[in-house]
Amino acid sequence: FGADSDHLTRADRYHTDLVLVDAPAPGSGKVFDWHLASEVPDSVRLILAGGLDPENVADGIRAVRPWGVDVSSGVEAAPGRKDPVKVRRFISNARAAAPPVEETDLPPLDEVPYDWEDE
């Protein structure tokens, strides 16, 4: 959903495992007002997107406390080309800001999430 969507307040009615909240213009690389994400009911796992990069991902995690984050242009060296140094910094900063799993209020997923580091 775009952060300005009126569907956010009803996200729990869609019976999904996750809801991705992005800027009103997805793919723009622009950060939205993270307080808009508070419209998502607490029972819904939220993925925060929209203008995230290595410098602001920790602030976004602390402000929204999402289940996960999404990034694309925020870690690019050039359009369509990822910068491995930015990717590593993004992951490191996201992990440092994330609360321990036992501090989250959400029930565990039925399956173990994919972990790219296991490959």
Per-residue pLDDT tens listing for the chain (119 residues): 666 666 666 667 777 778 888 887 777 778 888 888 877 777 788 899 999 999 999 999 999 999 899 999 999 999 999 999 999 999 999 999 987 765 656 555 566 666 767 76
pLDDT tens, position by position, 26-49: 777 788 888 888 777 777 888 999
CATH of domain 8-102: 3.20.20.70
pTM of the model: 0.75
Domain ranges of the chain: 8-102
CB 75 within 8 A of CB 51: no
How many H-runs (helices) and E-runs (strands) does the chain carry? 2, 5
Q: With contact defined as beta carbons under 8 Å apart, do 41 and 18 qualify?
A: no
